[in-house]
């Protein structure tokens, strides 16, 4: 019998989450669980729903013989990382971070401030079958570093922005793709990766956390997760069940951590948003971004060796570009 923990972070605009909202969340979760378990044909199932002592994490403990991969796929469709609150309570509650399956003995993995320590090592960087700027394949070595497990979210960026002189991120060219209302993230976008951020703004955010943007080599080494595949998960061509892409707004921009992590415990290293890196692109003043994004419709764009370059200024504060930070290990 397998046992997993489903953790959903809750946070109220002010004060504790009202008890009637707790009950509504439990009812929604139970409905989704029941529906999905029915469709995965388990021989046995027991599950419990309870609010953690801090009142901010709803924990659903599931013990079942069901196929967890099928169950997870079903949950993504029925829950989709967010809750539609009862009428009149829309402004009192939001989901902070997407749901995901967790190890009951490591519930803190749900922490969206989580970081992953990556050991020093060497790898084959690039691809001989990719675009010209990915060639040739060469051995590159990196020192040990620590990387954020998730792309920086609107929630995290907003928390930092409130303590800094930074301004809210807004799309350079079309406010249709803004995920903020004024200087505050839209509630339904809190757990989405922050977008519309320039290279300089990403650098400033990381510096505020005593960190920096990754080099290209660090990024690719981390994305590969110890494997020698085309994608963070291996050689399988991307589908919407394993990565956030497809070009549909806002459907394709899902919460961070909505899919399985790679071999190093990093999430969304393919899809979600393009991620700024430190490096200049060849002999230009453009900066390299990596990973592909929700806006891409071709799965090849999500390859770990794929490179794209953007100007670092405000004209490239794009709907499909975000970042994550790293720290050099002593």
Q: Is the backbone peptide bond immediately before 320 cis, with ω within 30 degrees of 0?
A: no
Kindly state the helix (H) or strand (E) to which residue 119 belongs, with its residue range: none
Q: Measuring CA to CA, which residue among 50, 322, 27, 291 is closest to residue 189?
A: 322
Equal fold, 2-110 vs 115-328 = no
Which string of b and e fits 137-156 if b means at least 16 CB within 10 Å? eeebebeebebbbbbbbbbb
Report the residue count for the chain.
Answer: 330
Q: Residue 142 contacts by C-beta under 8 Å, 6 or more apart in sequence? A: 120, 121, 122, 123, 215, 217, 218, 221
- Phi, then psi, of 219 in degrees rounded to 5: -60, -50
Q: Measuring CA to CA, which residue among 325, 27, 283 is closest to residue 148?
A: 325
Q: Measuring CA to CA, which residue among 142, 282, 151, 294 is closest to residue 220?
A: 142
**pTM for this predicted structure:** 0.70
Which of 86-90, 233-237, 283-287 has the weakest average pLDDT? 86-90
Topology at the third CATH level for domain 2-110? Alpha-Beta Plaits (3.30.70)
Residue with the larger pLDDT of the pair 60 and 124: 124
Distance separating alpha carbons of residues 231 and 276, to the nearest angstrom: 18
Architecture per CATH, domain 115-328, reads as Alpha-Beta Complex (3.90)
89-118 pLDDT, tens digit each = 333 333 333 333 333 344 333 355 678 899
pLDDT (0 to 100) of residue 49: 46
The band of 66, judged by pLDDT with boundaries at 50, 70 and 90, is very low
224-265 pLDDT, tens digit each = 999 999 999 999 999 988 999 999 888 888 888 888 889 998
6-21 pLDDT, tens digit each = 433 333 322 344 455 5
Neighbours of 101 (CB within 10 A): 17
Q: Where are the domains of the chain?
A: 2-110, 115-328
């Amino acid at each position: 019998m397998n046992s997993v923990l489903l953790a959903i972070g809750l946070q109220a605009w002010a004060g504790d989450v009202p008890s009637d909202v707790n009950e509504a969340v439990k009812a929604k979760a139970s409905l989704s669980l029941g529906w999905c378990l029915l469709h995965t044909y388990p021989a046995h199932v027991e599950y419990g729903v309870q609010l953690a002592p801090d009142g901010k994490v709803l924990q659903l403990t599931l013990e079942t013989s069901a196929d967890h991969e099928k169950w997870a796929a079903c949950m993504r469709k029925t829950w989709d990382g967010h809750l539609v609150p009862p009428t009149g309570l829309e402004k009192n509650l939001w989901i902070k971070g997407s749901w995901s399956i967790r190890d009951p003995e490591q519930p803190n993995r749900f922490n969206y401030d989580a970081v992953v320590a990556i050991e020093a090592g060497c790898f084959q960087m690039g691809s001989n079958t990719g675009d010209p700027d990915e060639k040739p394949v060469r051995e590159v070595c990196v020192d040990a570093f620590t990387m954020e497990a998730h792309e920086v979210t609107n929630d995290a960026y907003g928390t930092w922005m409130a303590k800094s002189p930074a301004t809210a991120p807004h799309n350079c060219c079309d406010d249709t793709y803004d995920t903020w209302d004024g200087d505050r993230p839209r509630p339904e976008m809190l757990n989405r990766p922050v977008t519309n951020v320039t290279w300089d703004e990403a650098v400033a955010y990381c510096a505020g956390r005593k960190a920096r943007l990754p080099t290209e080599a660090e990024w690719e080494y981390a994305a590969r997760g110890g494997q020698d595949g085309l994608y963070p998960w291996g050689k399988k061509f991307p589908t919407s069940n394993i990565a956030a892409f497809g070009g549909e707004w806002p459907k394709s921009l899902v919460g961070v951590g909505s899919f399985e992590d790679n071999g190093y415990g990093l999430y969304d290293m393919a899809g979600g948003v393009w991620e700024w890196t430190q490096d200049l692109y060849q002999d230009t003043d453009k900066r390299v971004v990596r990973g592909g994004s929700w806006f891409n419709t071709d799965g090849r764009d999500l390859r770990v060796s794929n490179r794209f370059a953007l100007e670092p200024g405000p004209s490239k504060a794009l709907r499909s570009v975000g970042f994550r930070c790293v720290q050099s290990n002593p």
